[in-house]
Amino acid sequence: MDAVTAITDRIAGIRGTIAGLGSAAAATPSSGRSFDSILATEIASRSGPGRVGTRGVSANPSVQRVGAYGPEQLANAAAIIAAGKAMGLSVRDQTIGVMTAMGESSLRVVDHGDAAGPDSRGLFQQRANGAWGSASDRMDPTTSATNFFTALTRVGGRDAMTPTAVAHAVQRNADPNHYARYWDDAVAVVTTLTGSRV
C-alpha cells in the first residue's frame, strides 16, 4: 500500500471515529481541538522523518512542508491525488485538482464561502446548487475531489488547454486566469508527494 493510500485510509478511519462520537463531539472533541487540528497532528505523527514513503507520498522522507503548505494541507493534497489516481486520471489532471484547491481554499476544508458564493464549502468551494452533492460531500476531501474530477473528465480537449483554463471550465471562476499563479506550487506539491512529474 503506498503512502497516499495509507493516509487516505487513515483519514477515513479518523472521520469514522469522530462521526461515531456524535455531531457535537465531531465539531469540538473533548480535547477542545478541531477535527482539522487533530488530523494535522495525526498526519504529522505519521509523516515524520523516515515515515513518509518514497513512492507514495514523498521522495523526501523528512517532508513536513512544501512551500507554504503544511501537514494538514499536504494531507488534503494527498486525498485529491488519491481520488484522481483512483479514477485513472493523469498526473497532470491530479495536479490541476491540487492547483484548483489551492486557489479556492489554500488546501483547507473551509466551512464558509465568500461574497461571490456564500454557500460555497470545502477544498474546492463547491456551491450548494445540487451539482456537488450534499454539504457533507462538499466538506469531505475525497468526495469533493471525486466530484471535481468527474466534472473535469467532461472538459473536452483539456490536454491541449492551459491548466487554469481547465480549472476554470470546471469551477467557472469570475477570472479564468485565477488559478495560474498556483500551478508551480501544485507541481511542487504533487512531485514531492508522489515522486511523479507533470
pLDDT, mean of residues 22-43: 45
Asked whether residue 142 carries a pLDDT value surpassing 50, the answer given is: yes
Q: In 47-140, where does DSSP find H-type helix?
A: 71-86, 91-105, 135-139
pLDDT, mean of residues 52-67: 52
pLDDT at 63: 63
Q: pLDDT-based confidence at 24, cuts 50/70/90?
A: very low
pLDDT at 120: 63
Residue pair 84/145 in contact by the 8 Å Cβ criterion: yes
pLDDT at 158: 96
Instruction: Give the domain ranges of the chain.
Output: 3-194
pLDDT at 123: 81
Q: Which three cell numbers stand for residue 156?
A: 473536452
User: In this structure, which long-range contacts are made by residues 151-156, counting pairs with CB atoms below 8 Å and at least 24 apart in sequence?
Assistant: 152/89, 152/93, 152/96, 152/97, 153/87, 153/89
pLDDT at 137: 73
Q: Which tens digits make up the pLDDT trace of 70-127? A: 999 999 999 999 999 999 999 999 999 999 999 988 899 877 656 556 666 778 887 6
pTM for the model stands at 0.69
pLDDT at 107: 92
Cα(first)–Cα(last) distance of the chain, in Å? 22
pLDDT at 185: 96
pLDDT at 128: 63
Q: Which tens digits make up the pLDDT trace of 151-181? A: 999 999 999 999 999 999 998 887 889 899 9
Asked whether residue 196 carries a pLDDT value surpassing 50, the answer given is: yes
Burial class (CB in 10 A: 0-12, 13-18, 19+), 4: buried
Q: Which three cell numbers stand for residue 104?
A: 479556492
Asked whether residue 53 carries a pLDDT value surpassing 60, the answer given is: no
Mean pLDDT across the chain: 75
